[in-house]
Structure 1
C-alpha cells in the first residue's frame, strides 16, 4: 500500500528536507511540493491525496485556514516552528504536529501512524478523508528519578510543573521530580494531547476539569495561563464549547 502526499511550505529548505525524508519511506509517494496553500488546492481539485505535510505560517492563507476550508480532508501532519499552534492542530484533528527542526525519528513515527490507520481502513488510503485523532493510551515515557529509571504512562500525567532545571510530573498517583527542562520534556509528549499553557506549566488536555478567566483547574490544582499561550489555548476552548 502506498500513500500519495503533498508537502506544503513557503520555505525552500523545509521542502528540501521533506523531499529527503519522504524519499526514505517506501510507502510514501510524493506527488508534488507546493510553496503555498493555493497551489496545493489546485492539485487537490485534480486528484485525491492521502496525506498533507502542511506548514502553518504561510502568506495569503495559513495552514490552519487551508485545512478549515477543505470539505474532504486528507490526513494532515502539521509542520511548524511555532509550538503555540499545537492546539490548532488538536482542534482540526491533525494526525500529528511536528516542530521544526524536525528530526527524522519523529517524522517516521508520524507517517507510521498514518500508514497504520490506512491499513485498518483501506478505503481511506485511496480517497481523501477527515483524519481523526485518537490518543494512544499505551504511550509512555521513561524518566530518571530517585536513582532509577521510571516508566510513566502518559494517560496518568495530570500536568507538569517546571522548576529551574527540574520538572515535576504530577500524575494520578504520585509526583515525580526529574532533572529535565520543560522544552526537552515537551519534545517527548504528543503535541495534540498536551499543551504548554505557561512558561512553567504543561497540561494534559484530557484532564482539564474547568477553566475560569486565566486559570485552569485540574483536580485541586489551579494552573495559570500565560499571556503568550492564552490566544491559541482559548481558540481550542472555543472549539469545544456547545
Structure 2
C-alpha cells in the first residue's frame, strides 16, 4: 500500500512543528502540507488527494468541528486538541482518534496505526462511492413535516433553489413552489449534501447549481438575490474555486 498523504492543520506554529517532527519519523506518512490556515487547507483538499488529516479544533477562520462537518467522510481525521469536551462530537463525526495536547510520540503513532488499519481495510474491500453526483442528486429526496399533523411532504433535492431560515421554521424554495416546514436551518444544513448545498448566510442555504451569478456580497438566483454573509464568504469561494475562470495575469 502506498504512503498515506497527510495534511496538518493547527493555528499555532509550535503545534504544527510537533506534527511535522512526528510525521517525519513515520516512513509510511507523506506530509503534503502543514498550515495554520483552515480555509487554505480546505482549498488544498478540494484539489489534492489527502488520506489523513491531523486537525486542531480551536481555529479562528473555521473550527475543527465545522471543518469536519464540511469535509464529510472523504478523508480520515485525527483530532489534535487541548480541549477534551469535544471528543464525543468528534467521534459522532467519525474521526479516527482524539489526541489531547500535549501528546507523546507513542500515542501519536498508535493513532496513525489505527488510521492505517482503517484505510487499508477500505482499500482491500472498497465500499461503493456514495458521494452524490449531479445525476444522483436529481433522484435524491427528503421528507419534511407540513402544518397538517402526521403529513409529510416529499422534496426532491434537485428541485431546491435555496432555503431561508425563519427561526424554528424554514422556507424551501423549489423550481415550482415554496414549502414551509417546522425545522431549523442548522438541522436542514446537516442533512443536505455538500458541496451541492452551501450555507451562505445565517439565514440562507443555496443550491450551488442554481446560482446564476455573484455580485459582491449578493448571490443571484432566479427570484432575485440572497445575501452572502462575511462569515461564510471565504469558504463559499473556496468551494467554488474550480468553477471560477479568471485571467492568470
TM-score, structure 2 normalization: 0.55
Tell me how far apart the structure 1 counterparts of residues 214 and 19 of structure 2 sit (CA, whole Å): 34
Query: What is aligned with 1:187?
Result: 190
> 1:141-179 CA distances to partner (integer Å, 9 max, x unpaired)?
221014211222222211100112210011122111001
Query: What is aligned with 1:24?
Result: none
Contact kept in structure 2, 1:9 and 1:35, CA below 8 Å: no
**In the superposition, relative to structure 1, how do residues 47 and 120 fare at CA in structure 2: closer, same or farther (>3 Å)?**
farther
Query: What is aligned with 1:118?
Result: 126
Tell me how far apart the structure 2 counterparts of residues 223 and 234 of structure 1 sit (CA, whole Å): 15
Alignment match of 1:73 (pick from 49, 56, 63): 49
1:176 pairs with 2:152: no
Query: What is aligned with 1:231?
Result: 234
> 1:25-82 CA distances to partner (integer Å, 9 max, x unpaired)?
xxxxxxxxx99763675478x3379xxxxxxxx8757585398399972456897323
Contact kept in structure 2, 1:159 and 1:204, CA below 8 Å: yes
Contact kept in structure 2, 1:84 and 1:232, CA below 8 Å: no
**In the superposition, relative to structure 1, how do residues 75 and 193 fare at CA in structure 2: closer, same or farther (>3 Å)?**
farther
Query: What is aligned with 1:163?
Result: 166
Deviation for aligned residue 1:209 = 1.2
1:199 pairs with 2:202: yes
> 1:189-219 CA distances to partner (integer Å, 9 max, x unpaired)?
1232211111111011121111111111122
Tell me how far apart the structure 2 counterparts of residues 195 and 37 of structure 1 sit (CA, whole Å): 31
Pair member with larger Rg: 2
Deviation for aligned residue 1:120 = 5.8
Gaps of 5+ in 1: 11-33, 50-57, 122-131
Query: What is aligned with 2:133?
Result: 134
Deviation for aligned residue 1:85 = 8.4
> Which structure's relative contact order is higher, taking Cα pairs within 8 Å and 6+ residues apart?
1
**In the superposition, relative to structure 1, how do residues 42 and 212 fare at CA in structure 2: closer, same or farther (>3 Å)?**
same
**In the superposition, relative to structure 1, how do residues 240 and 42 fare at CA in structure 2: closer, same or farther (>3 Å)?**
farther
Q: Number of residue pairs matched?
A: 189
Tell me how far apart the structure 2 counterparts of residues 173 and 43 of structure 1 sit (CA, whole Å): 58
Contact kept in structure 1, 2:8 and 2:53, CA below 8 Å: no
TM-score, structure 1 normalization: 0.57
Query: What is aligned with 2:13?
Result: none
